Amino acid sequence: MPKATASSMQGSKISVLIADDHAMILDMFDHFLSNLPEFEVRTAPDLDAALSIIDEHGAFDLVLVDLQMPGMNGVGGLKKALDRNEGRPTALLTSDPTAQVISEILQMGGSGVILKTTSLKNLANEMRFMAAGGRYVPVELLDPHMMKSRGTAQSPLSTREMDVLALLAEGRPNREIAEELSLAEATVKMHVKSICTKLGANNRTQAVIVAQDKNYI
């Protein structure tokens, strides 16, 4: 008798497991996807926890694993997740993959890449596509010139923007950041907008995540 999968136990819903050591990422994705009726979402803080969840609940329709989290050992962790998920769609969740990483995960049978900076509107469509068996790589990662730029860029933020970013990482609201840095709240809002633009983020939470992945903070 074949082993039951997570999706078979949840009816027609798309079962998704997201593993990332950034609590903000898990909270953001979980909150968004849990409000979409077709998704059933589980989360894990590292690779070992993700593998244990797969063992306990069966294969998922889609597994997303963070490239930098504990236990990954580069793309080797994706291979472990792919094998444990019985070959079902398994993809990388990251913010700054190299061309070599993309090539390796596709060669091993991975479903592609979802960027942490993707808009939530696009996120659901990308995940539906992967869960249906498609292989997805954001178009900006297919341009070799853009990939080279992504891999060699230093922090594009000014000193003041780095100060604001550090307080964003602490979860401070604009009002507290303004008080801490002796700035007008409108100035802080301007800096936050500039930070998001320079880091390719859609909101302040994504900006912090991207900055952490790039070791800016």
End-to-end CA distance of the chain: 50
Residues 89 and 113: beta-carbon distance below 8 Å: no
Residue 1 lies in a domain: no
Q: What's the structural domain count of the chain?
A: 2
Give me the pLDDT at residue 97, please: 83
Residue 78 contacts residue 65 (beta carbons within 8 Å): yes
**b vs e for 63-91, b when ≥16 Cβ sit within 10 Å of the residue's Cβ?**
bbbbbbbebbeebebbbbbbebbeebbbb
Identify which of 147, 146, 157, 150 has the alpha carbon closest to the alpha carbon of residue 191: 157
Neighbours of 128 (CB within 10 A): 16
Task: Provide the pLDDT for residue 24.
Answer: 82
pLDDT digits (tens), the chain, 217 positions: 334 444 444 458 899 999 999 888 888 888 888 889 999 999 999 999 999 999 998 999 999 999 889 899 888 999 999 999 999 999 999 887 888 889 899 999 999 999 888 887 788 999 999 999 999 998 877 765 544 444 445 678 888 898 899 888 888 899 999 998 898 999 999 999 999 988 888 888 888 888 877 778 7
Pair 163, 141 in one domain: no
DSSP string computed for 128-145: HHHHTT--B--GGGS-HH
Judge whether 131 lies within some domain. yes
| Residue 102 belongs to domain with CATH number | 3.40.50.2300
3-state secondary structure of 217: coil
The residue out of 147, 168, 199 marking a domain boundary is 147
Residues 164, 186 within the same domain: yes
Residue finishing a domain among 147, 172, 197: 147
pLDDT tens string 164-195 = 998 888 888 999 999 988 989 999 999 999 99
Q: Which helix (H) or strand (E) holds 40?
A: strand 39-44
Single out the residue in 113, 147, 181 at which a domain terminates.
147
Domain of 199, in residue numbers: 159-213
